[in-house]
Amino acid sequence: MTELPKAYQPEEIEKRWYEEWERVGAFRADPVTDKKPYVIVLPPPNVTGALHMGHALNHSLQDALIRRARMQGYEALWVPGTDHAGIATQNVVERELRKDGLDRHALGREAFVDRVWEWKREYGGRITQQMRELGESCDWERERFTMDEGLSRAVRTVFVRWFEDGLVYRGLRVINWCPQCQTALSDIEVEHEDVAGELVTFRYDLSDGSGSISVATTRIETMLGDTGVFVHPSDERYAGLVGKTVRHPFFPDRELPIVADEAVDPEFGTGAVKGTPAHDPVDFEMSERAGTEKVNIFTETAHVNENGGRFEGMDRYTARREVLAALRELGLVEEVERPYVHAVGHCYRSKTEIEPWLSEQWFVKMRPLAEPAIAAAQDGRVTFHPPRFAKAYLNWMENLRDWCISRQLWWGHRIPVWYCDDCGATIAALEDPTECKCGSSALRQDPDVLDTWFSSQLWPFSTLGWPDDTPDLKTFYPTSVMVTAYEIIYLWVARMIMSGMYFMDGQVPFADVFIHGIVRDGEGKKMSKSIGNVIDPLDMIERYGADALRFSLAFIAVPGNDSNSSEERIEGARNFANKLWNASRFVLMSLGDDRPEITGELLVEDRWILSRLDDTIEVVGRELDAFNFSEALHALHAFVWSELCDWYVEMAKPRLREGGAGAAGSVLVHCLDRVLRLLHPVMPFITEELWSKLRPGAGSVMTAPWPAPEGRRDTGAEDSVARFQDLVVALRRLKIEHDVPQGRRVPVAVAAGDLAAGLEPLLDQVVSLARLESIELVDDLGPAGADPRTITPAGLEAAMRLGETVDPALERARLERKRDELAAEVKRAESKLGNESFVAKAPAPVVEKERAKLDEARAAFAKVEGQLGALGG
């Protein structure tokens, strides 16, 4: 056996094992199998992306689930892939072009799209390479891209089906327009943010000169597109004005009717609303009802267009100033409230202010799709973890508005719709048509592409081969669990459920939705480049190892909660890896090639650690089933570090030193074996490396069975060892308190009373761990004052036979402190048990436990009293 280095060095090991895993096809799943499938489709990262901490968390948790499922005997499949990310990718390539002094229009559509593909081929593999560095066990042979051929066919199929079923339609609407990206956005792609603006109240004079009506707005420039004034039908203030018209101050020919409409809130502002149907969705609807004109005043870059008269050419903010100034000059401005804080929509990509803009777009009718998806969450066919997110999902689903799916971009799935120039027909088709039903070949394809999320929503089944009826689809759909951050529940999760149920015979795409939080910095601040608090996961992998990064994230992953990551945490995880490494190194060095099985007589400490292991196995399994990674890993961490390393390994040393593996060796092998399996899903590399040393020739730990409790709980052993640990700690402390060097071996006497029998088999261990010269079990410690005394919570008394008298004053102070603690405990327990209702109503085991505690405390108290009395004074 080769010598293991003294500190764990992840770099070489990680590289070696990942190559090996890929070489033997360890991540491959087979659709022809007797095993039950366990399937996760990876939320596809943007092709433009680089692995960030959010991915690291999301992917670490999925890999842990998949690796565990694989060990549990499932046919585990994790489907990887990337998303074409319309706007983001187009922006990246456009930026590149600009460096060369070009823009996409100069290149033309086809050449530009070619250029993006070229970019994708060159850089699109970056993030998947980084995923390998993290150790992700996805089935790379099944890697997909949202714009590859198969997925494109899925997109077209969905579009055409929905078009034919009347769920996809085209309409003239006020949509969210991003003047920066120059495309429409759906409602969820708009982020509302409070900004300090102004609320301008101004006056429209009635055309007949009989008076005026005042309206208020935060976007005064939009009055250039006003075509009406709306009031509430029951608003008496304006009852006499309805039916009259006002005149537009800048366009004297334009008469604006005053119309009553229920949508007006009479409480707000003046109770009268200026109607700008081309730039406000509500105004649009009111205009539809009233039949007023719709005047679009903006270009796609949010500059005033030819309908803006002398304001033409100004950008919207300049126009805002100038229109206000012009109205002031005319004496029409009544009030300007400033600052006026209100929510303004911003583009989720470019952060530009959204301009509501009238245009023809494609939409998906959501209500019919939402209904089954709502039912599925209500009756538990889809379960959210933690459940509170089901509420958010349902609330959103119940208030869905139609989804604007057309984007004025070039990079994406082109809308499979053609318009006939001759007969005006609209044709949606799977294959590009060459001629219209009318015989004309003058067909033009719709220039727009689909929202990126239109293809992502199909991910759970499109990646498995749909619309073909493939073996993968048969075996692996529906998938098992969707793992994602709460940020994209609406954007993505909800839509996958809707489209999945629609196209897969009502079958939900996944049974469980595990929602985790986002990764923040060490102080809980969101990571951002501008703050400079971003942690680069690849940097962390390089410095601490992938296992350390993964462990550090899973260790703090509480379902639904954000978690704070920091280099210190990752360092701590690295230290844990090193601890595991060294404990294993010790076991391996002690055993040589010997791998004894547990047989024959076990000592109480052996039974204790096996009992603790069993409990740990149970807890880890239970918590992982509930996606409580943090709880599971805390249990494992505590078992490995505190119980196995700090206590059991120390207790096993004397026997190991005596030579021959024996029971201690067999127990260590057993514990290590189980620990490596339990940790493997989160720390795949180090566990595989150590496994190969512990179990040479036994194959990969990846396919070792996931541990189940082995019926080794032993509460008697746990009690005995707990008391023993208390005694060891008390003795170590006693030495420190009396300035006895830790290494100086002293004789000790212990009065254990009823507990003597339990302690007896552990006496040698007390000597060893408390570093004593000898230990003697006695009935009575003899007169106090002659030597330093201590007492454990369970009432074990011990004395160091130093052969020198202690300072009575110091000893008295120590004992008095102890006595006071015990007295308080006695009092607490007495008052509780003195409460008749407690004794009558509390469950019997609780009362029993309380009684036992009282007895123990009383006994210990009596002993301290005795020692104090003997001390005299």
Pick out residues in 468-527 that bind RNA (CB under 7 A): 490, 520, 522-524
Question: 543 or 595, CB closer to RNA?
Answer: 543
Q: How many residues bind RNA (CB under 7 A)?
A: 93
The binder of RNA chosen from 198, 334, 371, 650 (CB under 7 A): 650
Contact 77, 142 (CB under 8 A): yes
Stretch near RNA under the rule CB under 7 A, chosen from 149-157, 627-635, 658-666, 806-814: 627-635
The H or E element containing residue 334 is strand 333-347
The binder of RNA chosen from 371, 396, 598, 618 (CB under 7 A): 396
Q: How far apart are the first and last CA of the chain?
A: 65
| Beta carbon of residue 576, minimum distance to RNA (angstroms, whole number) | 8
The binder of RNA chosen from 28, 733, 744, 745 (CB under 7 A): 733
383: helix, strand or coil: strand
Question: 266 or 372, CB closer to RNA?
Answer: 266
Calpha distance 264→668 (Å, rounded): 76
Show the DSSP H helices in 259-387 as ranges.
281-290, 316-329, 367-378
Token readout for 209 is: 């000169």
Restricting to residues 288-347, which ones interact with RNA according to CB under 7 A? Answer: 342-343
Question: Mind spelling out the 3-state secondary structure of 167-204?
Answer: CEEEEEEEEEEECCCCEEECHHHEEEEEEEEEEEEEEE
| Beta carbon of residue 629, minimum distance to RNA (angstroms, whole number) | 10
| Beta carbon of residue 35, minimum distance to RNA (angstroms, whole number) | 32
Token pair 């100034």: residue: 325
Rg of the chain over Cα atoms, rounded to whole angstroms, equals: 37
Question: 20 or 568, CB closer to RNA?
Answer: 568
Stretch near RNA under the rule CB under 7 A, chosen from 85-93, 613-621, 648-656, 780-788: 648-656
Residue 596 CB coordination number (10 Å)? 17
Token readout for 153 is: 């066919």
280 touches RNA by CB under 7 A: yes
394 touches RNA by CB under 7 A: no
547 touches RNA by CB under 7 A: no
The binder of RNA chosen from 28, 109, 388, 744 (CB under 7 A): 388
Question: 35 or 732, CB closer to RNA?
Answer: 732
Question: 341 or 442, CB closer to RNA?
Answer: 341
Question: 255 or 646, CB closer to RNA?
Answer: 646
Distances (CA, A) of 152 to 91, 286, 455, 462: 21, 39, 8, 9
Stretch near RNA under the rule CB under 7 A, chosen from 25-33, 439-447, 529-537, 643-651: 643-651
| Beta carbon of residue 575, minimum distance to RNA (angstroms, whole number) | 3
Phi, psi dihedrals of residue 836, rounded to the nearest 5°: -60, -40
Restricting to residues 766-795, which ones interact with RNA according to CB under 7 A? Answer: none
The binder of RNA chosen from 136, 221, 631, 811 (CB under 7 A): 631
Contact 780, 756 (CB under 8 A): no
Restricting to residues 796-835, which ones interact with RNA according to CB under 7 A? Answer: 825, 828-829, 835
The binder of RNA chosen from 333, 645, 778, 823 (CB under 7 A): 645
Show the DSSP H helices in 481-545 as ranges.
494-503, 537-544
Stretch near RNA under the rule CB under 7 A, chosen from 42-50, 248-256, 700-708, 723-731: 723-731
Phi, psi dihedrals of residue 587, rounded to the nearest 5°: -60, -45
Question: 637 or 789, CB closer to RNA?
Answer: 637
The binder of RNA chosen from 26, 392, 511, 527 (CB under 7 A): 392
| Beta carbon of residue 731, minimum distance to RNA (angstroms, whole number) | 9
Q: Tell me, rounded to whole angstroms, the distance of Cα 41 from its chain centroid.
A: 15
| Beta carbon of residue 678, minimum distance to RNA (angstroms, whole number) | 17
Restricting to residues 680-709, which ones interact with RNA according to CB under 7 A? Answer: none
Restricting to residues 183-212, which ones interact with RNA according to CB under 7 A? Answer: 187-188, 191-192
Binding-site string for RNA from residue 585 to residue 624, where x marks contact by CB under 7 A and - marks none: xx--x-----------------------------------
Which residue type does 465 have? G
| Beta carbon of residue 830, minimum distance to RNA (angstroms, whole number) | 10
| Beta carbon of residue 385, minimum distance to RNA (angstroms, whole number) | 12
The binder of RNA chosen from 532, 743, 803, 834 (CB under 7 A): 743
Token readout for 336 is: 């300007």
The binder of RNA chosen from 265, 360, 421, 594 (CB under 7 A): 265
The binder of RNA chosen from 242, 511, 534, 842 (CB under 7 A): 842
CA angle (182, 446, 428) in 5-degree steps: 140
Calpha distance 452→580 (Å, rounded): 45
Contact 631, 619 (CB under 8 A): yes
Contact 215, 258 (CB under 8 A): no
Calpha distance 495→460 (Å, rounded): 11
| Beta carbon of residue 852, minimum distance to RNA (angstroms, whole number) | 8
Question: 410 or 691, CB closer to RNA?
Answer: 691
The binder of RNA chosen from 214, 318, 350, 564 (CB under 7 A): 564
Contact 352, 346 (CB under 8 A): yes
Calpha distance 669→594 (Å, rounded): 10
The H or E element containing residue 417 is strand 417-420
| Beta carbon of residue 122, minimum distance to RNA (angstroms, whole number) | 34
The binder of RNA chosen from 543, 579, 851, 858 (CB under 7 A): 579
Question: Mind spelling out the 3-state secondary structure of 107-174?
Answer: HCHHHHHHHHHHHHHHHCCHHHHHHHHHCCCCCHHHCEECCCHHHHHHHHHHHHHHHHCCCEEEEEEE
The binder of RNA chosen from 52, 55, 142, 574 (CB under 7 A): 574
| Beta carbon of residue 429, minimum distance to RNA (angstroms, whole number) | 33
| Beta carbon of residue 413, minimum distance to RNA (angstroms, whole number) | 24
18: helix, strand or coil: helix
Stretch near RNA under the rule CB under 7 A, chosen from 271-279, 326-334, 477-485, 705-713: 271-279
800: helix, strand or coil: strand
> Bridge partners of 176?
185, 356
Calpha distance 423→436 (Å, rounded): 8
Restricting to residues 99-138, which ones interact with RNA according to CB under 7 A? Answer: none
Calpha distance 380→383 (Å, rounded): 5
| Beta carbon of residue 220, minimum distance to RNA (angstroms, whole number) | 9
214 touches RNA by CB under 7 A: no
736 touches RNA by CB under 7 A: yes
11 touches RNA by CB under 7 A: no
Restricting to residues 846-865, which ones interact with RNA according to CB under 7 A? Answer: 846, 850, 853, 856-857
Contact 27, 99 (CB under 8 A): no
561 touches RNA by CB under 7 A: yes
The H or E element containing residue 870 is helix 844-871
Strands (E), 440-487: 443-445, 449-450, 479-485
What secondary structure does DSSP assign to 725-790, as a single string?
HHHHHHHHHHHHHTT--TT---EEEEE-GGGHHHHGGGHHHHHHHTT-SEEEEES---STTSS-EE
Question: 35 or 634, CB closer to RNA?
Answer: 634
CA angle (624, 487, 456) in 5-degree steps: 95
765 touches RNA by CB under 7 A: no
| Beta carbon of residue 679, minimum distance to RNA (angstroms, whole number) | 15
Stretch near RNA under the rule CB under 7 A, chosen from 90-98, 205-213, 407-415, 626-634: 626-634
| Beta carbon of residue 785, minimum distance to RNA (angstroms, whole number) | 23
| Beta carbon of residue 590, minimum distance to RNA (angstroms, whole number) | 8
